[in-house]
Amino acid sequence: MIYLFTDGSSRGNPGPGGFGAILRYGQHEKELAQGYRRTTNNRMELLAVIRGLEAITNPALPVTVVTDSRYVVDAIEKKWVDGWLRKPDFGGKANEDLWRRIVPLLKLRKVEFKWIRGHNGHAENERCDVLAVASALGELGSLLVDAAYEKIGQK
């Protein structure tokens, strides 16, 4: 079992943002983080999960995603995203580019989602928050352009 802990942050919504993720498999652990110059919190929450899943090389291993994002968990677990995908305009929902990117990743392996309350003393969530905030502030490297967001002036 692989555990993927994630968090997203934006300093203003929209504003500079970042994500943090921790991949854990047994005793092995890898941290992922990246910042963007203009984005939203929900985009960073989604991107944390996407980048974490993309970093997993063995599709045979099941994954538990641990996140404080109700937006991500509910859209997947309650199958909202499936309904959005059936609509020609994606139901007018935001972040279509990222939802279309995550759905195939979820089909590659067994993925379960676990929601936790953020900022509640959960060690991995707190670490992901530190990574996300530091990334948003440009402390972990240059801020990238969230081209899809900036191009469409997201809703």
pLDDT-based confidence at residue 152 (cuts at 50, 70, 90)? low
139 catalytic residue (yes or no): no
Fold that domain 2-152 belongs to in CATH: Nucleotidyltransferase; domain 5 (3.30.420)
82 catalytic residue (yes or no): no
26 catalytic residue (yes or no): no
Catalytic residue, candidates 18, 68, 96, 146: 68
pLDDT at 91: 86
Closest CA to 128 of 26, 31, 27, 25: 31
Local structure of 129: helix, strand or coil: helix
Q: Are 40 and 14 in contact (CB under 8 A)?
A: yes
Name the residue type at position 139.
E
Catalytic residue, candidates 82, 91, 119, 138: 119
Catalytic residue, candidates 7, 96, 124, 146: 7
122 catalytic residue (yes or no): no
pLDDT at 153: 57
Catalytic residue, candidates 18, 20, 35, 45: 45
What pLDDT digit, counting tens, does each position of 78-132 carry?
A: 999 999 999 988 988 999 999 999 999 999 999 999 999 998 999 999 999 999 9
What pLDDT digit, counting tens, does each position of 48-83 carry?
A: 999 999 999 999 999 999 999 999 999 999 999 999
146 catalytic residue (yes or no): no
Mean pLDDT of the chain: 95
74 catalytic residue (yes or no): no
pLDDT-based confidence at residue 155 (cuts at 50, 70, 90)? very low
User: Over 50: is that where the pLDDT of 23 sits?
Assistant: yes
Catalytic residue, candidates 18, 35, 124, 129: 129
Q: Are 32 and 52 in contact (CB under 8 A)?
A: yes
Stated pTM of the model = 0.95
- When pLDDT is averaged across residues 1-23 and rounded to a whole number, the result is 97
- β-bridge mates for residue 65, sequence order: 4, 113
C-alpha span between 65 and 60 (Å, rounded): 16
Domain residues of the chain, as ranges? 2-152
